[in-house]
Structure 1
Amino acid sequence: MAVLLNLLGLYQGGVWKVRVELPDAYPYRSPSIGFVNKIYHPNVDELSGSVCLDVINQTWSPMFDLVNVFEVFLPQLLLYPNPSDPLNGEAAALLMRDRPAYEIKVKEFCEKYAKPEDAGVAPEDNSSDEELSEEDDDDSGDDEPILGHPDP
């Protein structure tokens, strides 16, 4: 499953396709989250897009759901990076050494890699900075079942 994510703050105006993999034991085991198009952040691996997020990786609870991930956990991580637990050491070092230069680099990555077409959508499909929408990983027309049940 892939989800499109639009953010505020330094990342405003960027659009990212986020990979979500649900383990068989979901919601008792945490989902795996990763950015498909590039993002510059201390807690996101620049090559794989994997996210280092304690609440997802270590303190996950079945009480959490994907709404929490996309409306709370990821936005909080991106607004408040943790350079002491980096997956991108260069971004962490730059943030700690020279925050204005870090912010410029974040904005450069947004302009270069986070346009709607970089996330696999047409620009007119990107209508809101807070909108989340699901995108199919392939265009084969086969509908894949979504595991689990919607929250009441």
Structure 2
Amino acid sequence: MIMSDNQELKVREKQAFDAPAEQTKPGPVFTPSVDIFETEKAITLLADMPGVKAEDLMVDLRDDTLTLAGEVSDSVKTTGEKVLEEYQTGRYYRQFSLSEVIDQEKIDAKLSDGVLRLTLPKVEKATPRRIAVQVG
């Protein structure tokens, strides 16, 4: 990767989530990092959730609020004395408010290699289109 003098390579660590209420489960809660892209027809949201399996992932839509939640546990059992431990286990949690331009009935979710991809299609009326001008 070639970088100019004014660019830096930054490593993002898992960000701890400040829960609005007390937690009933022990362990940390993380806010997954996301990238959001928009086209004329849809919004795509990519959420980084390493170690989360599909059966431990929940995508919920309620009252125009999209909730992402997942859990990753320490499934690797090793023997010997720990020398260094940097990988953190815990839960992921993040919410998004959806606008009226999203067709909530057609939202699609896929999990691959620790990345959750949500496709949020726009309703037909929100899709930009060119209007033909009639002559006469």
Q: Same fold (TM over 0.5)?
A: no
Tell which structure's C-alpha radius of gyration is larger. 2
Which protein has the bigger helix share? 1
Which protein has the bigger strand share? 2
What is the TM-score with the length of structure 1 in the denominator? 0.25
